[in-house]
Structure 1
Amino acid sequence: MAEVAPEVLEAVKNAARDGKISCTAARKLAADLKVPPRVVGEACNALKIKIKACELGCF
C-alpha cells in the first residue's frame, strides 16, 4: 500500500464523524479530491475510520 497524501488524510479526517464516514460521502470526497475511491479507503484504514452503509463494495 502506497503512502496516502496528507491532503487526502486531512480531508477524510474532517469529513468523518465519530470515527465513521458513509460510503456516499467517501465516494463524493474521492471525486472532489480527484483520486480513486481506493485512496480514500486507504486513508480511512490508516486513520482507523470505518466506512458505513457501504454501497457496491467500493472500499
Structure 2
Amino acid sequence: MTVEVDKLKERVKEMAKDGKLACRVAFQIAEEFEVPPRKVGDAANELKIKIAGCQLGCFK
C-alpha cells in the first residue's frame, strides 16, 4: 500500500460517523487528495464504511 492510500484511508476513518460517510464528504476527500471519487469509495469499502446519501450512485 502506498503512503497516499494509507493517508486516504485515515482521512475516510476520521470523517466517518457511526460507520457512515456522507456522499458530499466523500467528494470533498476526493478533491483534497486529487483522486477520483471511486478511489474514496474503494477505501471506504475496505474499511467497511458505508457511503450515505449517495448522489447518482457514484459509490458502490
Q: Structure 2-normalised TM-score? A: 0.88
Task: Describe the SS at the equivalent of 1:40.
Answer: helix
| Offset at residue 56 of structure 1 (A) | 1.3
Q: Unaligned stretches of 5+ in structure 2?
A: none
Partner of 2:9: 9
Partner of 1:23: 23
Q: Unaligned stretches of 5+ in structure 1?
A: none
Give the aligned residue type for 2:27.
Answer: R
| Offset at residue 57 of structure 1 (A) | 1.3
Report sequence identity in percent: 49
Q: Structure 1-normalised TM-score? A: 0.89
Give the aligned residue type for 2:23.
Answer: C
**Matched residues in 2 for 1:31 and 1:58: separation?**
15
